[in-house]
């Protein structure tokens, strides 16, 4: 495996750890619970990806992922501990950055293991989305992926750009960087202009239990 | 593997995808979040089953599952998007149908891999229950399995009927269809007459934090 | 594998099943939902550990774990069904006991499979924490691990004591018992004196969506 794979995984894990720490701050969590939340957010997506691909999970033989989480958490704590407020987009920004790394890396790893392009993009999306999903479930919030703003579309788009460029003969590293950039820009644009795709019309909620 | 296995898996996945879409509708979700919720509901149980059995997850080399999800989601969206109300049992009905397919298929797959009958029934139950559990957790509702009405009993019953018939020498396909039918009928009866098994007497909730 | 491994796993599973049953009681659950909650609490951590280590999950070829769960659940139901109240620490006590078994067993199993000591301690912690995390998420409560009182520190401490004693040449069984005892005592002390490690200062919560 190319050396930059390791760095992309490390960066993805670090930025998801930052998003987990910010979510912990938001929920007034304290003590080492912060590290637990940051860790499951950071390694959740990659662990699920590797279990499904039936390869050793990335962190099982490599301590560097834990150093990355630890450094990211401590640095974030030091930065925010005396803040009274944090701009509300900060958490979403780091989540978007984590998505960019994980979706493209997940797509790549799946292709490496011989899946179809479609399954690769979906597994990339899954590995990008799941860490944040676990984070939001543990914090008892509506998962970010369900709060619109093209979240899932953005992931699929990043995977499509990456695998499309590969198919066009572009080398791996520029294809990866392009996929990540495309994903990040679309997600930031969707956040800024609150882009959504309405599917259901307004309705009363009568599907509840009687 | 017999060809109808694939169809049972496809059908189970499609009806769980429908239940996920209905849950998304109920929760006023929008955009591609609907597809994410439908997908995790649909593939959650089967993925966990295959990870535990240590076989390749069903959808990793087979795009047809995603087509099934996509068709089920789009058809459901088209059907419900202009509705103001949906009968409250619709979601539970599709959940029950998904259970019927997944519990029996899960029991069968476990037996195929040499587990004991008891473990097979429990793994079948687990694969049937988990997709809906993830769906309900992501929607922040009390998981359906905990709202009584013989939910878990029903799953175990379906597995017992199927493996019992197999043990009596009945051929696989009729045994499967009987197990699925038995499970579905018991679940529908339990929903209709609100059957429950009381375990705890009424109590004040004093186990809370002080 | 030494014979007491099996017993430690069984005991860990039984006490987590008790904690799941108590959580079901607290949430007024009924019927077989109690057994479902007890089971996922009991086998959640060990299953995740074994999936990540890529070894057969402990219960796949061994019915005794299910007998242990069943006996623990039925005994707990019989004990609490006519109670109006239960001392509020009972659930936390059994959770702590489950932690003691699972953290040390998880650390041991990881070391057996050649991971570094650091990864082993973290995987032990993960397998101890996850069962209770799933239990609390399904009950829609703030996971116990985030409510402070040195929960995560306690797990790491138990893993450090065990692997430290091993490194000092202590035999396996006494090292395990010491690790479990150390973990349990620290956790009980933290519960009794409400020990916490403050990380964030008080703040308004302005990170919410606009």
Chain position carrying tokens 């240590």: B54
pLDDT of the residue at A193: 86
CA atoms in the 13 A half-sphere facing the CB of A52: 30
| pLDDT band at residue B208 using 50, 70 and 90 as cut-offs | very low
- A32 to chain C, any CB pair closer than 8 A? The answer is yes
Chain B residues whose beta carbon lies within 8 Å of the beta carbon of residue C88: 206-210
Q: Does B64 touch chain C (CB under 8 A)?
A: no
Whether C208 has a pLDDT exceeding 50, the answer reads: no
C55 touches chain A (CB under 8 A): no
- Give φ, ψ of C107 to 5 degrees: -60, -45
Q: Is there a contact between B33 and A140 if contact means CB atoms under 8 Å apart?
A: no
| Min distance B66 CA to chain A CA atoms (Å) | 9
> In this complex, do B56 and A51 lie within 8 Å of one another by their Cβ atoms?
no
Token reading at A170:
């572009």
Per-residue pLDDT at A210: 40
**B10-36, pLDDT tens digit by residue?**
999 999 999 999 999 888 887 788 888
Lowest mean pLDDT segment, chosen from A67-76, A164-173, C196-205: C196-205
Q: Does A6 touch chain C (CB under 8 A)?
A: no
| Mean pLDDT computed over every residue of chain C | 88
Alpha carbon separation from B119 to B12, B50, B195, C17, C28 (Å, rounded): 21, 14, 26, 17, 28
Chain C nearest-CA distance from B208, in A, is 6
Average pLDDT, chain A: 88
Chains touching C (at least 3 CB pairs under 8 A) are: A, B
Contacts of A82 in chain C (CB under 8 A): 201
Of C36, C60, C86, the CB nearest to B115: C60
Rounded to 5°, angle at Cα B39 from B172 and C127: 85
CB-based contacts of C110-115 (< 8 A; 24+ apart in sequence): C110/C49, C110/C53, C111/C163, C111/C166, C113/C53, C113/C55, C115/A60, C115/A61
Closest to B203 (Cα-Cα) out of C79, C137, C135, C39? C79
Test mutation, B32, B40, B90, B134, chain A, max A CBs within 10 A: B32
Residue B28 makes CB contacts below 8 A (sequence gap 6+) with A200, A203, A205
Q: What is the pLDDT of residue B148?
A: 65
How far apart CA C73 and CA A56 sit, in angstroms, is: 35
Contacts of B88 in chain A (CB under 8 A): 206-210
A84 DSSP assignment: S
Count of A-C CB contacts under 8 Å: 106
Strands (E), chain C: none
Question: What token pair was written down for A147?
Answer: 């709060």
> Which residues from chain A sit within 8 angstroms of residue C207, using beta carbons?
22, 25-26, 85-88, 90-91
> Residue A54: what pLDDT?
93
Higher pLDDT, A88 or B141: B141
Tell me whether B32 touches chain A (CB under 8 Å): yes
Residue A192 has a CB neighbour count (10 Å cut-off) of 10
DSSP string, chain B: --HHHHHHHHHHHHHHHHHHHHHHHHTT--TTHHHHHHHHHHHHHHHHHHHHHTS--TTTT-THHHHHHHHHHHHHHHHHTT-S---TTHHHHHHHHHHHHHHHHHHHHHHHTT--HHHHHHHHHHHHHHHHHHHHHHTTS--GGGS-TTHHHHHHHHHHHHHHHHHTT--HHHHHHHHHHHHHHHHHHHHHTT-----SPP-----S--
Q: What is the pLDDT confidence band of residue A44, given thresholds at 50, 70 and 90? A: very high
Lowest mean pLDDT among A32-36, A64-68, C31-35, C200-204: C200-204
The pLDDT score that the predictor gives to residue B1 is 53
Closest Cα in chain C, distance from residue A63 (Å): 7
Binned at pLDDT 50, 70 and 90, residue C210 comes out as: very low
- What six digits make up the tokens of C100? 């003691």
Closest chain B C-alpha to A111 CA, distance in angstroms: 11
Of A115, A148, A209, nearest to B30 by CB-CB distance is A148
The mean per-residue pLDDT over the stretch A95-112 comes to 94
What's the rounded mean pLDDT across residues B4-13?
88
CA torsion, points B114, B118, B119, B121, in degrees to nearest 10? 100
* Chain A residues in contact with C116 (beta carbon < 8 A): 61, 63
Gap from A110 CA to chain B (nearest CA, Å): 9
Residue with tokens 């789009």: B74
SS3 at position A196: coil
Range name among A104-118, C2-16, C124-138, C150-164 with the lowest pLDDT average: C2-16
* Closest to B98 in 3D by CA, of B187, B206, B13: B13
Question: What is each CA distance from C126 to A36, C44, C75, C102, C190, in whole angstroms?
Answer: 9, 10, 28, 9, 20
- Find chain C residues with C-beta within 8 A of B140's C-beta: 140
- Residue A30 to residue C153, Cβ atoms within 8 A: no
Locate B48 and state its tokens.
Answer: 């966990």
Three-state SS sequence of B62-75: CCHHHHHHHHHHHH
Tracing tokens 């009924």 back to the chain, one arrives at C30
pLDDT tens, position by position, A143-183: 888 876 788 889 999 999 999 999 999 999 999 999 999 99
Interface mutation vs chain B, best among C13, C20, C36, most B CBs within 10 Å: C36
pLDDT above 90 coverage of chain C, percent: 63
What single-letter DSSP state applies at residue C55? S
Q: Mind giving me the DSSP string for B100-111?
A: HHHHHHHHHHHH
Q: Are C95 and C144 in contact (CB under 8 A)?
A: yes
Which DSSP category does C209 fall into?
-
Q: How far apart are CA C140 and CA B143, in angstroms?
A: 10
CA angle A124/A130/A136 to nearest 5° reads: 150
Cβ C25–B207 below 8 Å, yes or no? yes
Query: Smallest Cβ distance to C84: which of B118, B148, B204?
Result: B204
* Domain ranges, ordered by start, for chain B: 3-143
Query: How far is C59 from chain B, CA to nearest CA, in Å?
Result: 8
Specify the DSSP class assigned to residue C79: H
Contacts of A22 in chain C (CB under 8 A): 207
Interface contact C148-A66, CB threshold 8 A = no
Q: Please answer yes or no on whether A205 and B28 come within 8 Å at the CB atom.
A: yes
Give the pLDDT confidence of A6-35 residue by residue, as tens digits.
Answer: 888 899 999 999 999 999 988 888 778 888
CA distance C40 to chain B (A): 9
Q: For residue B205, what pLDDT is reported?
A: 58
Count CB-CB contacts under 10 A for residue A21.
30
pLDDT, average across residues C33-47: 92
Nearest-Cα residue of chain A relative to residue C200: A81
Contact (CB, 8 A) for B159 and B205: no
All residues of chain A having their beta carbon less than 8 Å from the beta carbon of residue B84 are: 203-204, 206
CA dihedral C75, C76, C82, C85 (to 10 degrees): 160
Among A65-79, A150-164, C79-93, C119-133, the range scoring the smallest mean pLDDT is C79-93
Say if the Cβ atoms of A199 and B51 lie within 8 Å.
Answer: no
Q: What do you get for the CA distance between the two ends of chain C, in Å?
A: 56
The pLDDT score that the predictor gives to residue B210 is 40
pLDDT value at C75 more than 90 = yes
CA neighbor of A52 nearest in space, from B61, C51, B57, B126: B57
Positive or negative: CA dihedral B112, B116, B122, B123: negative
In Å, what is the CA distance from C191 to each residue of B94, C91, C141, C151, C188? 44, 12, 18, 9, 5
The interface residues of chain A toward chain B in range 68-107, judged by CB-CB distance below 8 A, are: none
Chain B residues whose CB is inside 8 A of the C59 CB are 119
Percent of chain B with pLDDT strictly greater than 90: 63
pLDDT in tens, C96-154: 999 999 999 999 999 999 999 999 999 999 999 999 999 999 998 888 888 767 888 89
Mutation target to probe the A interface, by most A beta carbons within 10 A, among B24, B26, B33 is B33
Contact status of B115 with chain A (Cβ, < 8 Å): no
B63-80: average pLDDT: 92
Q: Which two tokens stand for residue A132?
A: 């944040």
Tell me the nearest-neighbour CA distance from A32 into chain C, angstroms. 6
With the CA atoms of C84, C88, C89 and C94 taken in that order, what torsion angle do they form, in degrees rounded to the nearest 10? 50
DSSP, collapsed to helix, strand or coil, labels residue A34 as helix
């Amino acid at each position: 495996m190319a050396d930059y794979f390791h760095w992309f995984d490390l960066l993805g894990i670090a930025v998801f750890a930052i998003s987990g720490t910010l979510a912990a701050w938001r929920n007034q969590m304290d003590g080492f619970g912060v590290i637990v939340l940051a860790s499951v957010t950071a390694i959740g997506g990659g662990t699920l990806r590797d279990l499904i691909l039936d390869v050793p999970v990335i962190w099982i033989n490599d301590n560097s992922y834990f150093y990355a989480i630890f450094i990211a958490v401590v640095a974030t704590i030091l930065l925010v501990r005396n803040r009274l407020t944090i701009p509300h987009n900060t958490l979403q920004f780091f989540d978007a950055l984590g998505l960019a790394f994980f979706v493209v890396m997940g797509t790549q790893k799946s292709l490496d293991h011989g899946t179809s392009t479609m399954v690769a993009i979906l597994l990339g999306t899954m590995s990008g989305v799941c860490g944040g999903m676990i984070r939001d479930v543990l914090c008892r919030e509506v998962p970010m992926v369900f709060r619109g703003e093209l979240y899932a579309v953005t992931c699929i788009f990043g995977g499509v750009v990456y695998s499309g460029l590969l198919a066009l003969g572009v080398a791996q590293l520029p294809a990866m960087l392009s996929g990540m950039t495309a994903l990040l820009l679309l997600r930031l644009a969707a956040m800024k202009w609150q882009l959504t795709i309405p599917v259901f019309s307004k309705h009363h909620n009568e599907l509840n239990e009687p």
